[in-house]
Amino acid sequence: MVQGDHASRVKAAARWYAELQAPEAGAETWDAFRAWERHPANAAAFREIEAALSTLDRSSLAAHAAVRARPPQRARVWLGAVAAAVVMAALGAATLFSGRAAQPPADTLPLVYATSVGEQRLLELADGSSVRLNTASRIEVAFSAQERLVRLTGGQAFFEVEPDAVPFVVDAAASRTRALGTAFDVFVKAEGAQVTLLEGSVSVVSPGSAAGELTMLEPGDRLVISGGKAQPVVQVDLAAALSWRTGILQFADVRLADAVDELNRYSGTRIVVQDPALAEERLSGSFKAGDQEMFVSALSLFLPVEAERSGNTIQIVLASD
């Protein structure tokens, strides 16, 4: 009975795999899939399909599907069915010889990459995906047959994911972003994490919530997770939001305090605004990341302020009469 139940779940997982690969798969499809995947046994079955497909992609079977020139949807269904057969065969063999399903291979040590304050770094991963690390950032990369996992333990990173049957997953603070082929930005902040989608689609889950809240993003969407809870999705100006990749920081009607916090990420020289009223002033403009002096000079052009310097600190105060 247990064996038959698992077989049904594996077949369902193969169907879900085919549906999720379709270009027309949207938020409703992903919502339905996530509802199905919440059952631990279903999630385990889907991981088995992904692992089997990873193996098939490296075998002659995938090439055979291409030679037969099936329409894309039929090819996905065909590979999903073959993967299900592979999983069932493996399950039968494992049950015959050991009485339980084979355990996945032990995790390998992750590859670690980091940047210092003011530094950016462009990395190409083993699967052809790329990661641009922003200032003072750190990632751990641990690829396996089940998933392409990247842990962003601090800072900010922009991901351009190479399409593959194996899911690309980014763990950051209390969030897990899952994609198959897309481009998105993840920023670890003191209160949680922030995910901004440039193209494609991703699903973001906040494991810290009671039910594991899932949010689907579309291009231009930004999701902030604070205290393990997903906040309402907002639309952002992508050019401004991702301008850091060019070394330029763009602000549009933001609080002076927020602009200063962002600028301070890129330099050992810290700008300080202690006056609460001054910190609430709004500003817009584009500034070179790491050039604190230029920002202070520009600020004095449209606000009645002056700078007081002490060591590696620049304090912005209201100008004296």
Do 169 and 254 lie in one domain? The reply is: no
Do 120 and 79 lie in one domain? The reply is: no
Residue 56, domain member (yes or no) = yes
Q: Kindly tell me the burial class for residue 300, based on how many C-beta atoms sit within 10 Å of its own C-beta (0-12, 13-18, 19 or more).
A: middle
Do 123 and 173 lie in one domain? The reply is: yes
- The pLDDT mean for the chain works out to 79
Closest CA to 207 of 171, 173, 174: 174
Residue 105, domain member (yes or no) = no
Do 232 and 115 lie in one domain? The reply is: yes
Residue 77, domain member (yes or no) = yes
pLDDT of residue 213: 66
Do 217 and 261 lie in one domain? The reply is: no
Q: Which CATH number is 155's domain given?
A: 2.60.120.1440
Residue 102, domain member (yes or no) = no
Question: Is the model's pLDDT at 96 over the cut of 50?
Answer: no
Do 72 and 117 lie in one domain? The reply is: no
pLDDT digits (tens, 9 = 90+) for 242-278: 999 999 999 999 999 999 999 999 999 999 999 999 9
More confident residue, 97 or 151: 151
Residue 221, domain member (yes or no) = yes
**Among the listed ranges 20-29, 46-55, 90-99, 177-186, which one has the minimum average pLDDT value?**
90-99
Out of 190, 213, 239, a domain closes at 239
More confident residue, 102 or 284: 284
pLDDT digits (tens, 9 = 90+) for 159-191: 999 998 899 999 998 789 999 789 999 999 888
pLDDT of residue 10: 77
pLDDT of residue 58: 40
Question: Is the model's pLDDT at 232 over the cut of 70?
Answer: yes
Out of 239, 261, 279, a domain closes at 239
Q: What is the largest CA-CA distance in the chain?
A: 88
Residue 261, domain member (yes or no) = yes
Residue 84, domain member (yes or no) = yes
How many Å apart are CA 251 and CA 249, to the nearest integer? 7
CA angle 54/93/57 to nearest 5° reads: 15
Closest CA to 177 of 154, 148, 155: 148
Do 26 and 45 lie in one domain? The reply is: yes
pLDDT of residue 101: 28
How many Å apart are CA 298 and CA 294, to the nearest integer? 6
Host domain of residue 305 = 247-318
pLDDT of residue 49: 67
pLDDT of residue 13: 77
User: Is there a contact between 219 and 198 (Cβ–Cβ < 8 Å)?
Assistant: yes
Residue 103, domain member (yes or no) = no
- Indicate yes or no: pTM above 0.75: no
Out of 97, 126, 146, a domain closes at 97
Do 150 and 187 lie in one domain? The reply is: yes
Do 230 and 262 lie in one domain? The reply is: no
Do 26 and 65 lie in one domain? The reply is: yes
Do 235 and 297 lie in one domain? The reply is: no
Q: How confident is the model at residue 59 (pLDDT cuts 50, 70, 90)?
A: very low
User: How many folded domains does the chain comprise?
Assistant: 3
Do 121 and 158 lie in one domain? The reply is: yes
Mean pLDDT of 301-313: 91
